[in-house]
Amino acid sequence: MPDHKTNVYPVLLAGGTGTRLWPVSRELYPKQLVSFIGKYSLVQSTIKRLMPVIDMGKIRVVCGKEHSHEIERQMEAIGVPSEGKIICEPCGRNTAPAILLSALNIPEEEKDAVLCIFPADHVIRDVEDFHKKLASAIRLAAKGYIVTFGIKPHYPETGYGYIEGVGEVSEKALSIRRFIEKPDTKTAKQYVQAGNFFWNSGMFAFKVSMILEEFKLFSPELLRTMEKMLLKKTLLDREAYEQLPNISIDYAIMEKTDKGVVLPSDFGWSDIGSWKSLYDFLPKDQNNNVIDGDVIAKDTVNCIIMGHERLIATNHLNHMVVVETPDSVFVSDIDHSRDVKSIVAGLKEKGRKEYHKHRTEYHPWGSSTLLEKKEDFSIVRIIIYPGALCPVQVDTSTAKRLVVINGDVRVANDNQSWFLKQGESTVISEKHDVNIENIGDGPLYMVQLEYGI
């Protein structure tokens, strides 16, 4: 890595909804929070990949407010303190506003620091080679270049944008001639054969001062508006933030700057943008299948099958995706699995909750899982973290019985408090706020039965 005096701030972009990975990825629990590969989520894996080579005290994560508490929890779970490291956007406005927001959040005295931008939902096979390229990118950035990592294409992918490079500058990086939108198959084949075209990875390195200069030059209105918002020193106003242009860093800066270079890289990168790309990335069994969960696969080959709660049995399948979650099942041939995005759009149009959230929802205090819901009652499993408070509300037409499955709890309202242990329960039927506090050392498990009165 570069000299230890080089200040490097890794910035993870953790927005987006990952609709092409529905039903596992949803608006309230997008793909970056999900553990597709091993025990760590994509955002945790991205952080762990950087741990050996970059000071984790300088890490920043840009995300939506609705995901911030879960990202904080996941950071803490891998030993990275989250305090002061989360930058919340009121709503997503693409990569240019997110990157500008992160640059403006770096302390004034650190404007010569290098920012390294990483989408939080990408995966990399050869971490050692990635570290070498990262060192090169930081050295280039320290010299004043705006660096993008260009992935060497091994096949004519039409789902990625491309970057054309010309003329080596330093560290084997090339000057950027142009950025190219997703090509058709014929054009993509030409790019692969040419040898100087690279997949656009969305990963960057540049000095804070340099990127702010380029925003001043090429997107001055966006820069002025963002600086004005941050002067208030309060939470960013959602209404004002929604008025920002929905623009990528490529369009806003990279296609216009003369400081841009592309660093050719070949470290086994994937953006995990679809079930097909996840299948391509993961190791296969003897039948060329990717299988996760309780699965019986008879005469099944070249498939990705993922289960979460139920047994999945397949027979005589080839080149298929089968993904089960507690409330939805997705089945498609692999090549057309990207089309799930239009299914999600249809669910949203119809007002179906399945596009938006899972039966399990995550909160700052823990999680709640809808187990059953009928017209006249619902049953919810509640998990509360140690020391956390879970607010419970009822209206005049319903009551809630809370049963402690495991742990110790203090229940309090405006007038009194009482304690419950394993097997004990309480009924809340008056219209006022009640707080359930986990006073034990481990997670508190409860079941909530809500019914009409």
* 92-101, 231-240, 331-340: range with lowest mean pLDDT: 231-240
Question: Among residues 214, 236, 270, which one ends one of the domains?
Answer: 270
Name the residue with tokens 């219209």. Answer: 431
pLDDT higher than threshold 60 for residue 1: no
Instruction: Report the relative pairing of strands 377-384 and 366-373 from DSSP bridges.
Output: antiparallel
Half-sphere exposure of 89 (CA within 13 A, CB side): 28
Q: What is the CATH number of the domain that holds 408?
A: 2.60.120.10
What predicted TM-score, i.e. pTM, was given to this entire model?
0.90
Q: How confident is the model at residue 4 (pLDDT cuts 50, 70, 90)?
A: very low
* Contact between residue 391 and residue 435 where contact means Cβ atoms under 8 Å apart: yes
Same domain, 225 and 115: yes
Name the residue among 12, 52, 26 with its Cα closest to residue 327.
26
Does residue 353 lie within any of the structural domains? no
| Domain co-membership, 187 together with 107 | yes
Write the CATH number for 171.
Answer: 3.90.550.10
* Mean pLDDT of all residues in 51-73: 94
Task: Examine residue 3 and state whether it is found in any structural domain, yes or no.
Answer: no
Overall average pLDDT of the 396-413 stretch: 92
Q: Are residues 206 and 102 in the same domain?
A: yes
pLDDT digits (tens, 9 = 90+) for 250-274: 999 999 999 999 999 999 999 998 9
**170 and 56 belong to one structural domain:** yes
**pLDDT category of residue 6 using cuts at 50, 70 and 90:** low
Within a domain: residue 427?
yes
Q: Give the end of a domain, one of 219, 238, 270.
A: 270
Give the residue numbers spanning the domain of 380: 360-452
26 and 157 together in one domain = yes
237 and 171 share one domain: yes
Nearest to 385 by CA among 442, 314, 323, 435: 442
Does residue 90 lie within any of the structural domains? yes
- Residue at 27 is within a domain: yes
Domain assignment present for residue 354? The answer is no
The reply to whether 1 falls in a domain is no
Same domain, 15 and 132: yes
Contact 379, 372 (CB under 8 A): yes
Last residue of a domain, one of 306, 328, 348: 348
**Residues 84, 129 within the same domain:** yes
Please give the tally of structural domains in the chain: 3
- What would the 3-class secondary structure string for 26-77 be? ECCECHHHCCCCCCCCHHHHHHHHHCCCCCHHHCEEEEEHHHHHHHHHHHHH
- Quick one: 156 and 78 in the same domain? yes
Same domain assignment for residues 235 and 115: yes
- Summarised one tens digit per residue, pLDDT across range 120-166 is 999 999 999 999 999 999 999 999 999 999 999 999 988 899 999 99
Distance from the first to the final alpha carbon of the chain: 66
Residue 388 domain-assigned (yes or no): yes
Same domain as 280, residue 246 = no
Q: Does residue 5 register a pLDDT over 50?
A: no
Are residues 315 and 381 located together in one domain of the fold?
A: no
